Amino acid sequence: MKKVLYIKLLNRVIVQVGRTVHLGEIARLQGMNLNIEKIKNIVVHVAKKEDGTHTVIDILELLPLIQKEDPEITFELIGVTMCIIEVETAASKDRYFLFCFVWILLFAGSSLAIIYFHEDVSMQQVQQRIYYMITGEYNHKPLLLQVPYSFGLGIGMILFFNQWFKTRLNEEPSPLEVEMFQYQRSIDEYVLVNENKKPTNSVNDDDS
């Protein structure tokens, strides 16, 4: 009976340095009349420091490895023909200090940006005039407007980013997530183009 293997490569996977990558980790596999589990366990790459931050696995590197297990297999390819492997090194303590520094820097910067914006548009004077129009009294610090406005500013940011800590408000992606998705896709396209210019070092080369 004819042996057919359907292969759909994933766009990207993240592995640690020294990790052995198997075919089942970078692709979705379905087949007829063959041992899928055996094929999933085929070693396709070993993540090394020499790989840098990214390496690319091409479908043309995978087909000989699969045929070595079973020469009678025929292939049906679905989707992309290359998978990006992102190589991560072990997190160091310096990264946590860097994270705290960046967090404080962003917090201070965004706070100053909000303050400068309100000062630029004379927000306090506007709120004083609105308070005078409503109550007929002049108040230098119209807390009746300023306090709800401050809470509304924070709630508006939560609704805009569609997330409260790790809890999502709904399934719709936020504008930030859409921009990050576009950014990540651009990076992937760049990696695919530039990694293909480097000499390949496949499992076959290591065995020979």
CATH of the domain at 69: 2.60.480.10
205 in a domain, yes or no? Answer: no
What does the pLDDT read at residue 199? 54
Greater pLDDT, 89 or 98 = 98
Pair (179, 97) in one structural domain: yes
What does the pLDDT read at residue 104? 94
164 in a domain, yes or no? Answer: yes
101 in a domain, yes or no? Answer: yes
Confidence class of residue 25 from pLDDT cuts 50, 70 and 90?
Answer: very high
193 in a domain, yes or no? Answer: no
Confidence class of residue 73 from pLDDT cuts 50, 70 and 90?
Answer: confident
Confidence class of residue 23 from pLDDT cuts 50, 70 and 90?
Answer: very high
Highest mean pLDDT among 6-20, 89-103, 188-202: 6-20
197 in a domain, yes or no? Answer: no
| Contact between residue 51 and residue 84 where contact means Cβ atoms under 8 Å apart | no
204 in a domain, yes or no? Answer: no
Pair (33, 48) in one structural domain: yes
Confidence class of residue 28 from pLDDT cuts 50, 70 and 90?
Answer: very high
Pair (71, 106) in one structural domain: no
Pair (82, 101) in one structural domain: no
* 35-68 confidence digits (pLDDT tens): 888 899 999 999 888 888 888 999 988 999 998 8
Tokens in use for 104? 């404080």
- For residue 136, give its domain range: 93-183
Give the least confident one: 97-111, 165-179, 187-201.
Answer: 187-201
Q: Which long-range contacts (CB under 8 A, 24 or more apart) does 188-196 make?
A: 188/11, 188/12, 188/84, 191/54, 191/56, 191/84, 192/56, 192/82, 192/84, 195/54, 195/55, 195/56, 195/84, 196/56, 196/58, 196/82
Q: For the sheet containing 73-78, what is the strand order?
A: 27-32, 3-9, 73-78
Pair (82, 117) in one structural domain: no
Does 22 score more than 90 pLDDT? Answer: yes
Does 108 score more than 90 pLDDT? Answer: yes
Number of domains present in the structure of the chain: 2
Pair (85, 97) in one structural domain: no
Pair (15, 39) in one structural domain: yes
